[in-house]
Amino acid sequence: AQTVTQSQPEMSVQEAETVTLSCTYDTSESDYYLFWYKQPPSRQMILVIRQEAYKQQNATENRFSVNFQKAAKSFSLKISDSQLGDAAMYFCAYRRYVGTASKLTFGTGTRLQVTL
C-alpha cells in the first residue's frame, strides 16, 4: 500500500521569505502523480501544484515549486516570497497512474504560519 509522510506538523515563515515543506512517500509503482493541496480555514481543498512521476522536470506554478526526487521518493514544496494568504494546512498527496481513476492518498499535513 502507498503511504505519504509529512514529518513537519508545523512550520513558520516570515512574509516575503521562502519556506520548504517536506513530503516523502512509499510506493512500488513507477508511474504516479504527486500533488500538494492547500486547506485554508475555510476548509476548501485547493490544488497548489502537481507532478507526473515520469517527468524529470520539477513543476512550477508562480511562487510555488517542487523538488521531486524520484529515487529518494521525496516531493518537497517550496513557497517563495511568502504572503499572509499562504497561511494554511498543506497536504501532500499521491495517486497511482492507472487506466482507471483511483484514490488520492494524503499525508497528515503541515500547518504553515506566515508572520509579519
42 binds another protein (CB under 8 A): yes
In whole angstroms, the minimum distance from the beta carbon of 5 to another protein comes to 11
Q: Is 79 exposed, middle or buried (0-12, 13-18, 19+ CB in 10 A)?
A: buried
User: CA 94 to CA 21: how far, in whole Å?
Assistant: 16
- Report the residue from 8, 22, 27, 52 that binds another protein according to the rule CB under 8 A: 52
25 binds another protein (CB under 8 A): no
69 binds another protein (CB under 8 A): no
- Report the residue from 75, 91, 112, 114 that binds another protein according to the rule CB under 8 A: 91
Cβ–Cβ under 8 Å, residues 65 and 42: no
Q: Which is nearer to another protein, 12 or 18 (CB)?
A: 12
Q: Which three cell numbers stand for residue 80?
A: 517563495
Question: CB neighbours (10 Å) of residue 67?
Answer: 15
62 binds another protein (CB under 8 A): no
- Report the residue from 8, 22, 33, 78 that binds another protein according to the rule CB under 8 A: 33
Kindly list the residues in this chain that would bind another protein in the complex (CB under 8 A): 4, 33, 35, 37, 42-47, 50, 52, 91, 95, 97-109
